[in-house]
C-alpha cells in the first residue's frame, strides 16, 4: 500500500460497487492490517475514510476511530505477546502517561474546531512521516 491518497483513490473507485456494510468491513480489514503490521497507524487511514466515505463530521470521525482502534489494539497486542518479547516496564509507564494524555486529548477534541483538528492531525502525520523518512 502506498499512502493514504492511494487508499482513498482505490476505495473511491470501489465504493460505488459495494454496499456500505461490506465497505465498512473492507475499511476495517485495511485498518486492521495496518495496525497489526505497524503496531499503530490504523487511525491515520480510518479518520479520512470515515470522513470521506462514512460522511462523518470531523469530531465524530476522530472519536469513532478511537473506539474502533481499541479492539484492534487489544487483538494486535495479544498476537504480539505470543510472538514478541514485550517490555512490560515500558508498557506500564507509557500506559500511565497515555491515560493522562488520552484524557487531555479527549477533552481538547471537544474544544477544537474541525479546521484546527484537521490541521493538527495533518501536522502530526507530516511530523511522523518526516521522522520515519529521515531515520
Instruction: Identify which of 60, 65, 29 has the alpha carbon closest to the alpha carbon of residue 47.
Output: 65
The residue with greater pLDDT, 55 or 43, is 55
By residue count, the chain amounts to 135
d(CA 82, CA 6): 33
Share the mean pLDDT of the chain: 82
Residue reference for cell 491515520: 44
pTM for the complete prediction?
0.67
Average pLDDT over residues 33-55: 80
Structure-block grid coordinates of residue 90: 515500558
> Quick count: other Cβ atoms within 10 Å of Cβ 8?
15
pLDDT number for residue 11: 57
Residue 30 reports pLDDT greater than 90: no
Q: How far apart are the first and last CA of the chain?
A: 20
> Quick count: other Cβ atoms within 10 Å of Cβ 93?
11
Give 53's DSSP letter. Answer: T
59-83 confidence digits (pLDDT tens) = 999 889 888 888 887 887 888 888 8
| CB contact at 8 A, 30 and 72 | no
- The phi and psi torsions of 53 (rounded to 5 degrees) equal -100, -30
Residue 14 reports pLDDT greater than 70: no
The domains of the chain are located at 4-134
Average pLDDT over residues 7-32: 71
pLDDT number for residue 1: 44
Amino acid at each position: 500500500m502506498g499512502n493514504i491518497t492511494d487508499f482513498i483513490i482505490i476505495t473511491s473507485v470501489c465504493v460505488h460497487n459495494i454496499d456500505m456494510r461490506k465497505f465498512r468491513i473492507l475499511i476495517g480489514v485495511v485498518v486492521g492490517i495496518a495496525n497489526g503490521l505497524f503496531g499503530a497507524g490504523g487511525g491515520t487511514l480510518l479518520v479520512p475514510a470515515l470522513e470521506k466515505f462514512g460522511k462523518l463530521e470531523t469530531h465524530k470521525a476522530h472519536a469513532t476511530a478511537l473506539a474502533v482502534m481499541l479492539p484492534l489494539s487489544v487483538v494486535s497486542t495479544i498476537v504480539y505477546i505470543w510472538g514478541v518479547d514485550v517490555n512490560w516496564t515500558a508498557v506500564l509507564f507509557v500506559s500511565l502517561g497515555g491515560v493522562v494524555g488520552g484524557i487531555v486529548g479527549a477533552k481538547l477534541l471537544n474544544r477544537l474546531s474541525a479546521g484546527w483538528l484537521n490541521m493538527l492531525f495533518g501536522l502530526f502525520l507530516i511530523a511522523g512521516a518526516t521522522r520515519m523518512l529521515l531515520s
